[in-house]
Amino acid sequence: MIHNWIPLKGVGLLKFGTSIDQFVQDGTAVFIDTSDSTGWSTYAYDNESLRINVERGKIVSIACYEQCLLNETDLIGLDFELIERILGCATEVNPDVLLINEDPQEVFEFDNVGAQVWVKNGRVVTVICDDGN
């Protein structure tokens, strides 16, 4: 499935602020768990290539792990040096660094387009998209 990201709006058929119900009912979204820290429910979508975070039944963010197309460019796997130019905005100078499976990943925030970009060894590995709020 193609995952076209429309900044601040959604990814593919998944739109921020809309109900998760239709995707659960048709079997394309499967409940995984509920976060202790945020209270959000997380659903797997498209064989877990996307994770959907839901608050009070509404989609609040979408994590893209295998593909995130913006204007026909797949951000996943891209060299991070290209990201600011593609997104048309700058990020903070000192990103958070988190250990994921013993590997450090840098987390860059692009608030004006509603994106959090996770980078490992200079390459984008995850893009978490939201509505910018």
Tens digit of each residue's pLDDT, the chain (133 residues): 789 999 999 999 999 999 999 999 999 999 999 988 889 999 999 888 999 999 999 999 999 999 999 999 999 999 998 998 999 887 877 888 999 888 999 999 998 899 999 999 999 999 999 998 8
Global confidence as pTM: 0.93
Range of the domain at 15: 5-130
Q: How far apart are CA 72 and CA 106, in angstroms?
A: 24
Q: What are phi and psi of 98, to 5 degrees?
A: -120, 145
- Sheet with 29-34, side-by-side order of all strands: 29-34, 41-45, 50-55, 58-64, 123-130, 115-120, 103-110, 96-100
Q: What is the CATH number of the domain that holds 81?
A: 3.40.33.10
Q: How far apart are CA 54 and CA 120, in angstroms?
A: 26
CA distances from 74 to 21, 67, 101, 130 (A): 28, 6, 24, 17
Number of domains in the chain: 1
